[in-house]
Amino acid sequence: GGQPSGGDTSGSGASGGGLTGSVNTDGSSTVAPLTEAAADLFRDEESGVNVSVATSGTGGGFKTFCAGETDVSNASRPIKDEEAADCEAAGIKYTEIVAANDGLSVIVNPENDWAEDLTVEQLNLIWGPEAEGKITNWNQVDPSFPDQAITLFGAGTDSGTFDYFTEEINGEDGAIRTDYSPSEDDNITIQGVAGDVGAIGFLGLSYVEENEGVVKAVAVDGVMPSTETVQDGTYTPLGRPLFIYVNNASYVDKEQVKSFIDFYVANSAEIAERALFVPLTEDQVTTATDELASLG
Amino acid sequence: MTAIIERRGGPASGRAPAPASSFAGRRRPGEFLIKLALRLAAAVTVVTTVGILIALLIPSLSFFAEVPVLEFLFGTRWAPRFADASFGVLPLVTATLWTTLIALLVAVPFGLGAATLLAEYARPRVRKVLKPLLEILAGIPTVVYGFFALQFVQGTVLRDWLHLPTGAFSVLAAGLVMGVMIIPTIASIAEDAMSAVPQALRQGSAALGANRMQTTLRVVFPAALSGIVAAVVLGISRAVGETMIVAIAAGNQAQLVTNPLDQGQTMTGFIANAALGDSRVGSLEYNTLFAVGLLLFLITLLINFISIRFVRRFREAY
Amino acid sequence: MSPTSTTATQPLRASAPIATGRNGEMRPSALAFLLLLWLSLFVAFAVLITLLITIFLTGQNKLSTALLFNFPSADPDEAGARPAILGSVWAIGATAVMTLPLGIAAAVHLEEFADRKRWFNRFIELNVQNLAAVPSIVYGLLALAFLSMLGVTNKNIVIGGAFALTLLILPVIIIATREALRAVPREIRDGSLALGATQWQTTWRQVLPASVPGIATGSILALSRALGEAAPLLVLGALVYITFDPNGLLSGYTTLPIQIFNWTGRPQEGFHELAGATSILLLAVLILMNALAIFIRNKFQKRW
Amino acid sequence: MSTPTGSAATATHTNFHAAETRRLAATPSGLIRCEDVNVYYGEFRAVTGVNLEFGRNEITALIGPSGCGKSTLLRSLNRMNDLVDGARVEGTVLFQDEDIYAKAVDPIEVRRRIGMVFQKPNPFPKSIYDNIAYGPRVTGMKVDNMDDLVEEALTRSALWGEVKDKLKQSAFGLSGGQQQRLCIARTIAVQPDVILMDEPCSALDPIATSRIEDLMHELRKDYTIIIVTHNMQQAARVADRTAFFTALADESTGDRTGVLVEYDLTRNIFEQPQDQRTEDYISGRFG
Amino acid sequence: MSTPTGSAATATHTNFHAAETRRLAATPSGLIRCEDVNVYYGEFRAVTGVNLEFGRNEITALIGPSGCGKSTLLRSLNRMNDLVDGARVEGTVLFQDEDIYAKAVDPIEVRRRIGMVFQKPNPFPKSIYDNIAYGPRVTGMKVDNMDDLVEEALTRSALWGEVKDKLKQSAFGLSGGQQQRLCIARTIAVQPDVILMDEPCSALDPIATSRIEDLMHELRKDYTIIIVTHNMQQAARVADRTAFFTALADESTGDRTGVLVEYDLTRNIFEQPQDQRTEDYISGRFG
Ligand SMILES: Nc1ncnc2c1ncn2[C@@H]1O[C@H](COP(=O)(O)OP(=O)(O)OP(=O)(O)O)[C@@H](O)[C@H]1O
Ligand SMILES: Nc1ncnc2c1ncn2[C@@H]1O[C@H](COP(=O)(O)OP(=O)(O)OP(=O)(O)O)[C@@H](O)[C@H]1O
Ligand SMILES: [Mg+2]
Ligand SMILES: [Mg+2]
């Protein structure tokens, strides 16, 4: 599993570079800790820059982003076509940067000793729209499972996590049974699963690692989510990248935004570790650096 | 003595010729402007109400253009933001009813008990200490109550201590804590109502050989009944409108709640949870928020009017 | 029998002693009733104390100056609530500045000038009572819709939150102020008017000064309610991580209840402790405000 | 400046009804006796050193200027002061030679036996019937037939004829005078020995007042009545004996406290007051 | 049943001070004249058809049982009733032959010219000095030296000696009688022509009462005074003329309304009342 971040900060450059101004970010609450960690570390370099992180969800973030309100949008899934169209209509040009990786994890109650490894098909059986009102007991998922009612918890509909999970497991963005307990607050999901033997839920890997013993992760198609399995790509289909979208104009025109984003990418490993995410691979770092370089 | 205070119409001057203007009004434009400003300030409250109505109605109208009113009101499946959307608000309403009912079961007896103690038994000095202490309960931020309900009441008391078959959330836990929060509201109004019962009635009862309990139950309660009803009704209104406790502790699954140990999403819980994300202005999701808000507003409006009626009745009685 | 009594019909009962040894106030039913009443209060206080203890146990580790002076951070050991504290100050300050003059003016109009015979004034009264019981989240929706209509897309600004909070506590302040004004005896007004003072002079120079303690008490209580409110601000979208001090009405901000709400939603236990510590802080402030209000009420409120 | 010196008699005609129709002993029989009674409200001493006996089947009036402690003393005779915060009685109040403040005494029973009628009629917000039945019910009286009891109480208080057809209606529908008689009926219903009345007519019009005064004469046959009144002519009309109180300023503190100035047969108080203060009061020089 | 019939005279001695020290015209000079005045509170008519003239530099007393509309009428003389919700005056009230309810009349100015002193002393929660200075300040009087004005007002109201060393202290520190004289001083300070007094002594003790009565005699030299009182002896002592009011029940509605029964020189009212109701009231048969 991943290690909680250490306390040591990078602080490589001389602090107080003299920049001022603000960097406004909004978007996924899953990605928010990543950007916050970046801002934490960045503050040691450029204490004059105000970084703010709002958490309207990935979809909500894109709305303000495409209205030109924010410089950076945090996203736990790629931008959708309609959202891109909005940006285009508003004349907003942007760059997508993968900032870290995450293993979207399926979790169950620690006392659940039957569902330790589920297939994508089983997950689809449990979570698909057709399951609504029908699949209510674990023994319907697999006859060998005990007679135990299933209760479901998961991310709220505005989150990228929701979009990603529905896309990957149910084959269509937003397609999911509705008789589950959606929450924009992942910790509520933890509470839900921890409080119910028959519960199952999904959320980011960091929550699983922080709540060992409270909830436990389920292997998907035989692979447990972890830094390694996510980085080496074996944890599929739920291993996923986390994104930040940078407003090109902001990057070019606002020195503080450029400085922050450059810092973000340059220190991605440390930032990811601090925020309990899976760091970028070498290739991903190179790609991101190149993308930025092309902006000038 | 220096006659600084001169007599204007004294006998010395005889009947002073009284010109028609002797009382003529001084013009006081400042006074007029001030009164106008005050009136405008008062009118702001009306503007607020109109604002609420407009703010809720316009998105709601767009909402009802897409979703028939009857389907909204009587539908039993609430899944507004899913691919397979449906807009039956009854699940939210049932959850609201449950949390409200449970809250009242706590707040009414305890609130009335506390009010009776304060109004009928406590000496002024004791009351002076107890009442503010009780009011702290109403001052605790509801976020704090929410986590108390979720972690302590639901997690520790209901699950660990009582071993009740309940999950992570329940309308029971939310309702119980909400009830505690409402105790001071009910106590305060009920106490007002009881204190408004003239001392003469208590004395009359005591002079006939009734003890305090008899006086309280048989004279003061009936006499303060409308005020007590008003207190309960206002308690209902508070419970229906409370947001953070239910958003945190009642759960987020919109389902028809039949068992208080189940989770459920209330109307306010839905609005709060939906608002945590950010819906595009004008989208159906956004309008849904306001349709539920409108329903909530209308329900509390109705309740408030009932409560105001009863308050007025006890104010008028004495 | 008394020799002076002309019609000696005093019945037998006259000789029954009154020293029965019993006491009607101490009948079992009466004692049980009293016990129930005390129980009501006891339950309420028991919950209060339990709540305070659980919060304290959660938050005690994180009660430090770091909480007061540090910015939020992705690392719970470094995070503090500084922007939330300042944000609360800004939001409540702006709310106070907007709502106090408005609320007091409206109350003065209703109590001192309005002719209750006019339907409009009666309607305003009714309306204020009703607004006082409108759920707070509805005010959030109102502010959301209002800001949207103005075309403001970034609703995470001090003035937006203050707007919602102002409308939320305006009726509370109006009602409290009216009560304070009503407590000033008629005689003071009559005395002033009989000297040839105008109604406004009477209000401004006699009634308002005399009701300052009552108004202050009500206002502090109303503002403390605003300070603890989270729901309407949540609807406006809440900033939770800012690395700067809110510094103006258009500045981004977060408040203590929102910060608590957010931290409790984090995976790390450390953030939950922070939420507990922040709750302690918020509660301490609220209880202090309550105590101040009660102090003012007891100390300065004249009993006429 | 003007010192009142003239002596033009007013056209006042007073009827010493009580004195004229009854022969009274020089000293009362002492159904209730106050011995050195002081009454305090917290630190403040409202009544000081009262020694007074009230005669059985007599009407005794307490008169005196406002604030001299008449009501306070009256309430201490049936322990109604127990219900007032901070009120405290020193000295002895004997009822049938029993100390009503003794430990073993049930204050509830004291109040049943020594009933009270108040200044403003205070019917309960119930029906006329229930107003009367309330006392017997709460005191747990054994009542064979409540209807009879209600009828008798109302008859005794001269109200039966007026209300017999609307017993189930709210008592609030009655006129002020009827309400006051209802309160008297209510008191009678629990079979007290003594009825205390604190300015029972001051909220009533002349006709209602005169009906109550008539009623008091009736009731005297069976009850002992102690009445506080502001209206001296009323005292003269109804009372067998009259006690005059006034308020004295304490030399040290400046606090005013009520004292008994003079107590005598009513006619004596009004025609040959022994104390100058009594005479000043009776003649309207203050009050 | 007892019907008051006896005629034993009380020991009452009344001093018709006013009548004895002054010769008065048979009809008053009419500084204020009420013509057919009705006063309503909403639908309820509290006072009906009053015709009355108040003489310049005279003291006129209004007496009558509680609720007969004395205060209501008094307040309609300086438009204090304007401030009571629903109160409405019909008929004409003339002050120096001007209709004070005419359109062009400023009620504020009416109240300054016709001052008022109330039942309960109502000093402002300010210093003694500021209590006096308040009126001149708010009415915008041109005052050369406020200190002199304050001194004179206090002197005229016989208070200067008692308070001259504590002008800056709160008026609440004064005794009730001093407070009432302060209220009179406050009224004098705005130079009114008439002073209305609504039971100014009913909250005061005998000594304070007598000081106020003395003061009224002093003030009569410069002011016209109209006083409502419950104390008939007070009316007899201070008033030049007395008006007796009572409350009549309306045949149709049963509502009671106040009417003027009799108005005459005080001595006549007390010694030769023309109306049976006046005599009944004066002799204490009700009230
Ligand atoms: N509950 C109380 N607490 C404190 N002081 C009181 C209380 N009741 C009365 N007093 C004071 O005790 C004194 C005597 O009051 P009391 O009411 O007995 O007078 P009273 O003779 O009945 O007057 P009145 O004729 O006005 O009814 C007064 O100074 C009064 O202010
Ligand atoms: N503000 C008011 N609104 C409605 N009715 C009123 C109002 N003030 C007085 N009244 C009524 O008008 C009538 C006359 O009242 P008013 O106060 O003038 O009587 P009063 O002669 O001064 O009595 P008292 O001797 O008790 O002072 C009464 O029936 C009273 O109830
Ligand atoms: Mg009394
Ligand atoms: Mg009056």
User: What are the tens digits of pLDDT across the range E254-268?
Assistant: 678 899 999 999 989
pLDDT recorded at residue E255: 74
Spatial CA neighbour of C16 closest among D76, D142, D143, D193: D193
pLDDT, position A132: 86
Q: What is the CATH number of the domain that holds C102?
A: 1.10.3720.10
Q: In b/e form, how buried is each residue of B56-85, taking b as 16+ CB within 10 angstroms?
A: bbebbebbbeebeeeebeebebbbbbbeeb
**Which comes out higher in pLDDT, residue B133 or C6?**
B133
**B86 has which bridge partners?**
B79
Q: Counting Cβ atoms within 10 Å, is residue D254 exposed (0-12), middle (13-18) or buried (19+)?
A: exposed
Q: Which of the 8 DSSP states describes residue E285? A: S
CA distance A201 to A192: 8
Whether cis (ω within 30° of 0) applies to the bond prior to E192 is no
Average pLDDT over residues D155-172: 90
Task: Count CA atoms closer than 13 A to D265's CA, side-chain side.
Answer: 16
**Three-class DSSP category at D227:** strand
Let me know if residue C56 belongs to a domain. Answer: no
Q: Is A171 on the interface with B (CB under 8 A)?
A: no
Backbone angles phi, psi at D153, to 5 degrees: -60, -40
Read off the tokens for A109.
């109650």
Query: With the C-alpha atoms ordered C164, C165, C171, C177, is the resulting torsion angle positive or negative?
Result: negative
Structure confidence at residue B124 as a pLDDT band (50, 70, 90): confident
Q: Which residues contact B160 (CB under 8 A, 6 or more apart)?
A: none
Ligand 1: nearest atom to the Cα of D199: 27
Q: What pLDDT digit, counting tens, does each position of E24-57 carry? A: 777 777 789 999 999 999 888 899 999 999 999 9
Residue B78 predicted with pLDDT over 80: yes
Q: Is E287 in the pocket of ligand 2 (CB under 6 A)?
A: no
Q: Tokens representing A186?
A: 């992942």
Judge whether C270 is closer than 8 Å to chain A, CB to CB.
no
Other Cβ atoms less than 10 A from the Cβ of A262: the count is 15
Assess if residue C54 is contained within a domain. Answer: no
Residue C256 lies in a domain: yes
Band (A12; pLDDT cuts 50, 70, 90):
very low
Nearest Cα to A141, choosing from A172, A164, A112, A119? Answer: A119
Name which residue sits closest to atom 29 of ligand 2, judged by CA.
E67
* Segments forming the whole domain that contains residue C264: 62-67+77-300
Residue-by-residue DSSP string for chain C: --TT-SS----GGGGS-S--S--GGG-HHHHHHHHHHHHHHHHHHHHHHHHHHHHHHHHGGG-SHHHHHPPP-SSTTT---HHHHHHHHHHHHHHHHHHHHHHHHHHHIIIII--TTSHHHHHHHHHHHHHHTS-HHHHHHHHHHHHHHTT-----BHHHHHHHHHHHHHHHHHHHHHHHHHHS-HHHHHHHHHTT--HHHHIIIIIHHHHHHHHHHHHHHHHHHHHH--HHHHHT--EEEESS---STTSB---HHHHHHHHHTSSSHHHHHHHHHHHHHHHHHHHHHHHHHHHHHHHHPPP-
- The whole-number average pLDDT for the span B89-100 is 95
Nearest CA in chain C to E135: C195
Q: Does B219 touch chain D (CB under 8 A)?
A: yes
Residue owning tokens 């130079």: E191
In this predicted structure, what is the pLDDT of residue B215?
Answer: 94
Tell me if C117 is assigned to some domain: yes
Q: C175: which 2 tokens? A: 């009602």
Q: What percent of chain E has pLDDT over 90?
A: 47
C75 and A5: CB-CB below 8 Å? yes
Q: What is the pLDDT of residues A139-169, one digit of tens each?
A: 999 999 999 999 898 887 767 788 888 888 9
User: Which pLDDT score is estimated for A17?
Assistant: 65
Number of residues assigned to chain B? 318
Q: Give Rg (Cα) of chain E.
A: 19
Ligand 1 atom closest to the Cα of residue D69 is 18
Separation of alpha carbons D68 and C162, rounded Å: 57
Does C21 reside within a domain?
A: no
Instruction: Identify whether the C-beta of residue C280 lies closer than 8 Å to the C-beta of residue C63.
Output: yes
Q: Is residue C28 part of a domain?
A: no
Look at residue D120 in the predicted model and tell me its pLDDT: 86
User: Which pair of structure tokens corresponds to residue C111?
Assistant: 């109590």
ipTM exceeds 0.85: no
In the predicted structure, residue E62 carries a pLDDT above the cut 50: yes
pLDDT at C12: 41
Instruction: Identify the CA nearest to B137 among candidates B75, B199, B180, B78.
Output: B180
Residue E113 confidence (pLDDT) above 50: yes
Determine contact, residues B104/B179, Cβ cutoff 8 Å: yes
Flag whether pLDDT at A77 surpasses 70. yes
Task: Please check the confidence at residue B317 and state whether its pLDDT lies above 80.
Answer: no
Interhelix angle B90-116/C28-59, nearest 10 degrees: 120
Q: What is the pLDDT of residue C101?
A: 96
C16 closest CA partner among D151, D141, E86: D141
> Which of B268, B215, B117, B231 is CA-nearest to residue C44?
B117
Which chains neighbour E (Cβ–Cβ under 8 Å, 3 or more pairs)? B, C, D
Residue B277, pLDDT > 80, answer no
The pair of structure tokens assigned to B226 is: 């409308």
Q: Which helix (H) or strand (E) holds B81?
A: none
**Partners of chain D (3+ Cβ pairs below 8 A):** B, C, E
Tens of pLDDT along B163-215?
A: 888 877 899 999 999 999 999 999 998 998 898 898 889 999 999 999 999 99
- Quick one: pLDDT at residue A102? 87
Distance CA E180, CA E184 (A): 6
pLDDT grade for C164, boundaries at 50, 70 and 90: very high
Q: Residue E196's closest chain C neighbor by CA?
A: C194
Tell me if D217 sits within 8 A of D238, measured CB to CB.
Answer: yes
For residue B104, pLDDT beyond 60: yes
Within a 10 A sphere around the Cβ of B312, how many other Cβ atoms?
14
| pLDDT computed for residue C136 by the predictor | 93
Q: Can you tell me the distance from the alpha carbon of C177 to that of A29, in angstroms, rounded to the nearest whole number?
A: 42
Alpha-carbon gap: B33 to the closest alpha carbon of chain E (Å):
18
Q: Dihedral of CA D17/D23/D26/D30: which sign?
A: negative
Following DSSP, what letter does each residue of D166-187 receive, concatenated?
-TTSBGGGS-HHHHHHHHHHHH
Determine the pLDDT at residue E18: 52
Gap from CA of D106 to ligand 3 centroid (Å): 25
pLDDT of amino acid C166: 95
Could you tell me which residues are beta bridge partners of residue A278? A101
Contact E96 B21 (CB under 8 A): no
Please name the residue ranges forming H helices in chain A. 32-45, 57-66, 81-89, 120-127, 138-141, 160-170, 186-194, 205-210, 227-231, 248-253, 255-266, 268-274, 282-295
Angle at C64 between CA C62 and CA C65, to 5 degrees: 140
* Cα–Cα distance list, A202 to A99, A108, A126, A133, A207 (Å): 21, 9, 12, 19, 10
C13 contact D CB<8A:
yes
The mean pLDDT value for A59-67 works out to 86
Domain layout of chain E by residue ranges: 30-282
Touch test D–B: 3 Cβ pairs or more under 8 Å: yes
pLDDT tens-digit readout, C273-289: 999 999 999 999 999 99
Rama region for E174: left / alpha / beta (φ>0; ψ in -120 to 50; rest): beta
Q: Measure CA of the first residue to CA of the last residue in chain E; give whole Å.
A: 21
Those chains having 3 or more beta-carbon pairs within 8 angstroms of chain C are A, B, D, E
D89: amino acid identity, one letter:
V
- At D21 the pLDDT is 52
pLDDT score at B279: 61
Residue E178 predicted with pLDDT over 70:
yes
C37 domain residue, yes or no: no
CB–CB of D11 and E236 under 8 A? Answer: no
Nearest-5° angle of CA A200, CA A148, CA A213? Answer: 45
Kindly list the structural domains of chain B, giving each domain's residue range(s) and its CATH number in brackets, ordered by start: 79-317 (1.10.3720.10)
The burial of A49, by beta-carbon neighbours within 10 Å (0-12 exposed, 13-18 middle, 19 or more buried), is given as: buried
- Tell if the CB–CB gap between C195 and E85 is shorter than 8 Å: no
C137 touches B243 (CB < 8 A): yes
Kindly tell me the sign of the dihedral angle through the C-alpha atoms of D165, D169, D175, D179.
positive
Q: If you measure from the C-alpha of residue B206 to the centroid of ligand 1, how many angstroms do you get, rounded to a whole number? A: 19
Closest CA to A200 of A277, A105, A131: A105
* E67 in contact with ligand 2, CB cutoff 6 A: yes
Burial of B129 (0-12, 13-18, 19+ CB in 10 A): exposed
Nearest to B293 by CA among C231, C261, A181, C257: C231
What is the distance between the alpha carbons of residues C73 and E57, in angstroms, rounded to a whole number?
85
Pairing of strands D224-228, D98-99: unpaired
Q: What is the pLDDT of residues A82-116, one digit of tens each?
A: 899 989 999 999 999 999 998 889 999 999 999 88
Q: Does residue B242 have a pLDDT over 60? A: yes
In this predicted structure, the answer to whether residue E226 has a pLDDT above a threshold of 50 is yes
The C-alpha angle D247, D253, D259, rounded to 5 degrees, equals 20
Q: What is the rounded average pLDDT of the residues A21-33?
A: 87
**Total tally of structural domains belonging to chain C:** 1
Q: How far apart are CA C157 and CA C139, in angstroms?
A: 16
Closest CA to B75 of B292, B287, B259, B300: B292
What is the DSSP-derived secondary structure letter of residue D14? B
Structural fold of domain D30-282: Rossmann fold (3.40.50)
- Pairwise CB contact (< 8 Å): C197 & E125: no
Confidence of residue A191 (pLDDT cuts 50, 70, 90): confident
